[in-house]
Amino acid sequence: MAQKTITINGQKIEPGENKTVILNSYELHTKTKIEIPVHVIHSKNPGPSILLCAGMHGEETNGIEIIRKVISRDEVENLKCGTLVAIPVINVVSFLYGSRDLPDGRDLNRCFPGTKSGSLGSRIAYDLMKHIVPIIDFGFDFHTGGAKINNYPQLRCVFDFPDNVALAERFSTSLIIDSSYRDGTFRKEASKKGKPILVYEGGESMRFDYLAINEGVNGCLRLMQSYDMIDFDLPQNHSVKIKDDTWVRANSSGLFHMNANNGAHVRKGDLLGVICNPFGEAEDKIYSPTNGYIVGINNQPVVNQGDALIHLGIDED
Ligand SMILES: [Zn+2]
């Protein structure tokens, strides 16, 4: 069966066509119009329709770079089959400001499913649900850690859903983490429509992290290769699946030094870091409470009692 014409908010993309269209136009208080570009690569031959989207939070730049790199490759511009729907910057307004949230303080990824006449975030969410979700089979939403948290490259999905796990294995990041749905997220609302969306987390906000960028690009290429959408020879990663996780928090306030590497496997009792008093007196050593993998670290040098320092994926072996 041949591919059909795709329509996004009244704009048609024919089979065999690569085209950038506009999700919608939103007006700021300055009367400035803000548009969200959607780049579609629509092969003539049938195959899966994949969404890659990033910049849901405007200061999370790694995902934006991942999608830029993926869609500028020759083999992706000339897909053998299927469709790629790429939205490198969903939250254009927050990207302009370099901020996580929208100008009214809302988190766009808590605005789903959204409404046509709601807040700016609610309208963007509504447009994604109305115009994008129906034309895709599944998707990947690219994020980074926020507030000085650096996430080791990882996919987050629901282990109870076999389609989630199968997609994660095709993408094949080194860490795959079980993560239940949160209300108001794109991931949860798309799943209600039968469209699995996996969240990729890599690096931290406002900082390029080339390990996270390269793992993300390679995952997208592996995924497309697995559906024979591109010719590309990339070996599978060895993936570790993590069912449970825990945060190691600061027992005291002070200057935090990390003694272990992000992504490393640690054993219960290993020294993970030290919190020093700036006046040279106390040292508070932080030990791993469990065997596991370091899946995220706090890069903030000054920490307060109770702050989240190290995110551990618990190793069940
Ligand atoms: Zn995010």
Show the domains of the chain with their CATH numbers: 6-240 (3.40.630.10), 244-314 (2.40.50.100)
Rounded to the nearest angstrom, the distance between the alpha carbon of 122 and the centre of ligand 1 is 17
pLDDT of the residue at 3: 92
Q: Mean pLDDT, to the nearest integer, of 297-305? A: 95
Contact indicator for 233, 222 with CB cutoff of 8 Å: no
Rounded to the nearest angstrom, the distance between the alpha carbon of 86 and the centre of ligand 1 is 17
Task: Write the pLDDT tens digit of every residue in 55-67.
Answer: 999 999 999 999 9
pLDDT of the residue at 317: 62
Contact indicator for 162, 73 with CB cutoff of 8 Å: no
With a pLDDT cut of 90, the percent of the chain lying above it is 91
Rounded to the nearest angstrom, the distance between the alpha carbon of 223 and the centre of ligand 1 is 22
Asked if the interface predicted TM-score (ipTM) of this complex is over 0.95, the answer is: yes
Taking CA atoms, 29 is separated from 34, 58, 89, 103, in Å, by: 11, 19, 21, 10
* Ion ligand 1, residue ranges at CB < 5 A: 57, 60, 143
What is residue 205's DSSP assignment? T
pLDDT of the residue at 281: 78
Nearest by Cα to 142 from 83, 72, 74, 201 = 201
Task: Write the pLDDT tens digit of every residue in 101-152.
Answer: 999 999 999 999 999 999 999 999 999 999 999 999 999 999 999 878 999 9
